[in-house]
Amino acid sequence: MTSADWPLWEVFVRSRRGLSHTHAGSLHAPDAAMALRNARDLYTRRSEGVSIWVVPSAEITASSPDEKDPFFAPAADKPYRHPTFYDIPEGVRHL
Amino acid sequence: MTTTPQGAPSASAPEATAPQSGSAVPVGAALALGDDALVLSHRLGEWAGHAPVLEEEVALANIALDLLGQARVLLSLVGDEDELAYLREERAFRNVQLVEQPNGDFAHTIARQLYFSTYQELLYGRLAAGDGPFAPLARKAVKEVAYHRDHAEQWTLRLGDGTEESHRRMQTALTALWRCTGELFEPVDGLGLDTAALHEGWLALVSRTVEQAGLTLPTGPRSDGWSAGAGRQGIHTEPFGRMLAEMQHLHRSHPGASW
């Protein structure tokens, strides 16, 4: 058995309570329980985390690079969608 | 506390000065626990570059480093850690024979780890509950060791319940190392703890995993004339000498070398 036979898993680590899980990397493991343990050994050795998610890479649906333009280009020329477009009135504090 | 003179099989000399009360550290017990951790750490380190998969290589190295950290604390309690690790002769080592057994195939490594980590977790748990000289270390290390045991259990389940070949290899390994397990429950000089009392809990934990994995717990002899033992008295198996030669040769060839 080699790791080539094992499915790939994506690892998400939450570094502190209150923060969201962040993608840390990927690894091979025969099943979910071992993937969690491998993730613990590979990505939290230097006390980076308080919580780990592992997700089968095959289960992730990703946007295709070919669809980059229809997906993302239309947003490029619409700066008014950014909140910075608006002037903040003088009287507004604590913003 | 003086260190043992280099090379001499002299661990027994300081034992005479090892009272159990207060903060005085019993030398025999510190060497026993420290050598267990040191020797197993070195064995696991031998997998570096040879483990079946990269992820498992890191896992084994992590366990090895945990054990090395424990060994450094324990040996430093009773002397200079480098002198004790690199300049003692084989007969001065006090580790059980189980931890010096060669890695064998991956199943042998896992069986050795299952037997030892289960024992070590129970032992450290008891030491952590007390207020002896080993309590501070045990309180920290018991969490590390719980993970080592879990790692070994997970692999025992998967190998036992895996393919026909993995099942056969795991069973062979459990059986081969069984005769080394009786020694774990022999008394340890100066430890102040009844190691024999750990046996019941150990057997329950190990047999639960072994049965769940569809394997059979061996029934052969463990503590009679035909089984292994006497590592605590400095009697070791043949492969241990070769392991020590490899572990110590750099320090002996270049005393005081650092990087």
Residue B254 has pLDDT above 80, yes or no: yes
How far is B16 from B24, CA to CA, in rounded Å? 12
Mean pLDDT, range B236-247, rounded to an integer: 94
Q: Which residues of B touch A29 (CB under 8 A)?
A: 55
| B148 close contact with A: CB closer than 8 A | no
Task: Order the strands of the A8-14 sheet from edge to edge.
Answer: A22-28, A8-14, A51-56
Cα angle B239-B190-B225, degrees, rounded to a multiple of 5:
45
* Contact at CB, A28 and B62, closer than 8 angstroms: no
Neighbours of B20 (CB within 10 A): 13
Class of domain B23-253: mainly alpha
Residue spans per domain, chain B: 23-253
- The model's pLDDT over B56-91, given as tens digits with 9 standing for 90+, comes to 999 999 999 999 999 999 999 999 999 999 999 999
* Fold (topology level) of A3-62: Ubiquitin-like (UB roll) (3.10.20)
Mean pLDDT, range B92-97, rounded to an integer: 95
Closest-CA residue of B relative to A44 is B62
Listed range (A15-24, A51-60, A63-72, B28-37) with the worst mean pLDDT: A63-72
Going by pLDDT thresholds of 50, 70 and 90, the confidence category of residue A4 is low
- The model's pLDDT over B179-202, given as tens digits with 9 standing for 90+, comes to 999 999 999 988 988 999 999 999
Residue B18 has pLDDT above 90, yes or no: no
Please give the C-alpha separations between residue A41 and each of A44, A46, B7, B64, B144, in angstroms, as whole numbers. Answer: 6, 10, 37, 12, 12
